[in-house]
Amino acid sequence: MSQGTVVQVIGAVIDVEFSRQELPKIYDALEVEGEGLVLEVQQQLGDGIVRTIAMGQTEVFKGAQKSQIQETQLKCPLEKNLRKDSECLGRTH
């Protein structure tokens, strides 16, 4: 897994910097260590920076945090008993 560093947070939009050799693909999922926040890569900006959208709240987000690449695309669980208070990743609030 690759390590990246958060370089900018604007609301739900978060830019993450990686080495150019380990740049994640569009729609890859990133997880911010210690926060449980999942990001989805939307755009490769160049110079090793990707633009992501947060799949959760970013109000308590601290800059310069590490994020790890999950080598998968985001998946929404489809279950009969998916609760109304579940988020798009299937976790409850």
| Tens of pLDDT, residues 16-67 | 999 989 899 998 998 887 777 889 999 999 999 999 999 888 876 766 677 7
Q: Angle at CA 14, nearest 5°, toward 9 and 18?
A: 115
pTM value is 0.76
- Looking at residue 48, what DSSP letter applies? T
E strands of the chain, at which residues?
Answer: 3-10, 13-17, 28-32, 37-46, 49-54, 66-73
Please state whether 48 falls in left (phi above 0), alpha (psi between -120 and 50) or beta. Answer: left
Q: Which fold has domain 3-73?
A: Thrombin, subunit H (2.40.10)
